[in-house]
Amino acid sequence: MGNIIDGKQVAKEIREELKAETTLLKEKNIVPGLAVVLVGEDPASISYVTGKKRACEEVGILSKSYELPATTTEDELLKLVSTLNNDNEVNGILVQLPLPKHIDELKVINAIDPNKDVDGFHPVSIGNMMIGVDTFLPCTPFGILKLLERENVKTEGAEVVVVGRSNTVGAPVANMLFKKSNPGNATVTICHTRTKNLKEHCLKADILIAAAGRANMITKDMIKPGAVIIDVGVNRVEDNTKKSGYRLVGDVDFNGAKDIASKITPVPGGLDL
């Protein structure tokens, strides 16, 4: 059985390190501040925002929370973003996605000051990432790199296959891993819904990153023995034995993959913290 990558433990270690850094900043009268904006009552978004508030409190970061009704207009949200851009107590702005359908997400993302764009979604942030300029990086891809780094997974020269091409995970993590950096210097293949012979590509992967959002789509016969598997997927499947009526699974068939992979992230407990 492969080693289980304990994302929760890694996150705990990182928060301890950040707490120490925050303490040093406070000694210089610098208090990092994060503003989190939630529009509507999407259960998953509420859960994410609650976790972010808890993490801020744990590491000593000032947290400003703005929980707005789903009826909030686009103009009202843009005015709030403008106010936060000019708030000296706020170093980072995070507008939780998805937004209600009547609000243009791209317009809101573009309105955020790139110097406060902690999600790394602003076109300036993305452009800087692409050319290797220091910038805010998308959280999940950056988290993947941190996991690989802390698990001492060698990426230089490795064959990496990313299944999924979203702007939030697949595309940016591929970009980060082929850069001249550490982790990085990998040979990266991006697979997606139009890829022919997906299995053939996956079997070449020393590191397989599954981020397609399809439950158990990567089966054990698609995995190279000894591969490192990072499962980004969080999918609900029916389970009548659970009080909720469902359970969470990843994009990888964990039970089939765990005996083939050298290292693997579970779902939940890997990246879905």
Give the helix/strand (H/E) hosting 145: helix 139-150
Q: What's the pLDDT at 272?
A: 62
Sign of the torsion angle spanned by Cα atoms 4, 154, 261, 269: positive
Q: Which of 116, 117, 119, 206 is catalytic?
A: 119
pLDDT tens, residue order, the chain (273 aa): 669 999 889 999 999 999 999 999 999 999 999 999 999 998 878 888 888 899 999 999 999 999 999 999 999 999 999 999 999 999 999 999 999 999 999 999 999 999 999 999 999 999 999 999 999 999 999 999 999 999 999 999 999 999 999 999 999 999 999 999 999 999 999 999 899 999 999 999 999 999 999 999 999 999 999 999 999 998 888 888 888 888 888 999 999 999 999 999 999 888 765
Q: Under a CB-based contact definition with an 8 Å cutoff, are residues 148 and 183 in contact?
A: yes
Let me know if 104 is a catalytic residue: no
Q: What's the pLDDT at 253?
A: 96
Residue 117 is which amino acid?
D
Q: What's the pLDDT at 266?
A: 93
Radius of gyration over alpha carbons of the chain, in Å?
19
Q: What's the pLDDT at 1?
A: 60
Structure tokens at 147: 């996991």
Let me know if 96 is a catalytic residue: yes
Q: What's the pLDDT at 193?
A: 87
Contacts of 83 (CB under 8 A, 6+ apart): none
Q: What's the pLDDT at 38?
A: 96
Structure tokens at 195: 């890829």
Q: What's the pLDDT at 46?
A: 86
Q: Which of 52, 116, 224, 258 is catalytic?
A: 52
Q: What span, in angstroms and rounded, lies between the C-alpha atoms of 253 and 128? A: 35
Locus of tokens 């790139």: 114
